[in-house]
Amino acid sequence: MTQAKSAVVVGAQWGDEGKGKIVDVLSERFSMVARYAGGHNAGHTVVINGEKFILQLVPCGVLRPGCRGVIGNGVVLDPMAFLKETGRLRDLGIDVDSRLFVSNRAQVILPYHRMIELAAESAPGRQKIGTTSRGIGPAYEDKMARNGLRVVDLLNTDLLKTHIENACREKNAIAHALFGTEPLDPAQMYEEYAAAAEKIRPFVTDTALLLNRALREGHSLMFEGAQGTMLDIDHGTYPFVTSSSSSAGGASTGTGVGPTLIGTVIAVTKAYVTRVGEGPFPTEINDSAGEELRKRGQEFGAVTGRPRRCGWLDLPLLRYAGMINGISWLVVTKLDVLDELAEIPVCVGYIADGKKTMEIPAQASGYDKLECVYHKMPGWRTSTQGITKFDQLPKAAREYLTFVEKEAGAKVGMVSTGPDRDQIIFVDEFATEMKTASARKV
């Protein structure tokens, strides 16, 4: 068997780290890119020659000619969102029809999932998680309850009709009893989704078989994560998390590629931290400095437009992400957002109950007891935007990255210095490893 050539790109924070751009940049070196978790609540933004592409379900690799994209079994697929996104890409001249594949084992989001989530999130007395209300959580709930509909089932009209009728009977009753929600029409839903299924059918295949066969034949494969480590259902700031395994381990379960075939783990972190929605955030900035970061970093959700909460870089959190994912390399994005700061605080530890600690609390309430310990570094007060060589960075910027590398325990392999795909710095050692590991069979 040919040695596997594969890498996972994962978020090291609460998502929105810029994984879309990094996957796009690296996909030039890979044969295939496989998305392994999440749904259309995760937006990846890629800027090519000033033109912005926002992808929600489709892996960023499809923006590179010759690179195939796979939506794995760990993803929850909204058929209507998928058709809208592929149609938009087709209109932009992107070849999705011959280069995009959907797992026949992926779970399907249906309108009652959105109904349940929206009603639950809005109900008085319920703890607000800050979801996108797109049905992601309820679809994963049905999956784990062994009551979901998979893509392969979507294509079977008899099974689809029966499933929608039974599900609507149950979900309508629950939603009405708990939240007073008006019922959905199963007949109309069936007509709409049966028609959508026929448009999706050409994309559907056994993607686990496709991916493993590609690896055996010597092709290179990149796994594209959604959200970030601190939103992982098991390892994140529960319950303020997503409903899937967004850390590197999800790449195996979410695609059907065995863990021994996965090579390098590349974690993406901003030069600061953001998160969307509710939940703990130890280094959050609640003054004008936070507003300035949000403004300079254009920190608004690619999918929802929601403003992101902003904070200073959290090194204990980054070390935790390194442990959970087995990080090989760090990619630091949005370095240029810090360009105008005279001083840059970095969280190097916590104080809890009067004692120093580096540990991440298991309970969300544990974060309320943390006081951040900051190490203040000098800013560089000059533009780094568009710089493509590490030694061309200002001395203080290089020192900032070196400090992060040392404290995080993982080497910095790439630095993003602007939104465009060409505004990137490759560290020589990382570039060499990527060239060797991902040399693809054409």
What is the pLDDT, as a whole number, of residue 438?
57
Tokens for 209?
Answer: 């078989």
CA dihedral 283, 331, 61, 58 (to 10 degrees): -10
What is the pLDDT, as a whole number, of residue 1?
32
16 is catalytic: yes
Interval 240-265: pLDDT, tens: 999 999 999 999 999 999 999 998 99
235 is catalytic: no
What is the pLDDT, as a whole number, of residue 434?
85
CA dihedral 278, 419, 436, 218 (to 10 degrees): 70
Residue from 95, 103, 104 nearest 67 by CA: 95
Q: Determine which helix (DSSP H) or strand (DSSP E) holds 376, and give its type and residue range.
A: strand 370-378
CB atoms within 10 A of CB 409: 13
Beta strands in 16-58 (DSSP E): 32-35, 44-48, 51-55
How far apart, in whole angstroms, are the C-alpha atoms of residue 287 and residue 197?
49
How far apart, in whole angstroms, are the C-alpha atoms of residue 97 and residue 89?
10
Which residues does the chain have with pLDDT short of 50?
A: 1-3, 440-442
What is the pTM for the complete model shown? 0.92
DSSP label of 94:
-
How far apart, in whole angstroms, are the C-alpha atoms of residue 100 and residue 33?
10
Which amino acid, one-letter code, is at 401?
A: L
What is the pLDDT, as a whole number, of residue 277?
85
Tokens for 197?
Answer: 């299924």
Of 16, 78, 336, 420, the catalytic one is 16
Of 40, 44, 219, 235, the catalytic one is 44
What is the pLDDT, as a whole number, of residue 124?
58
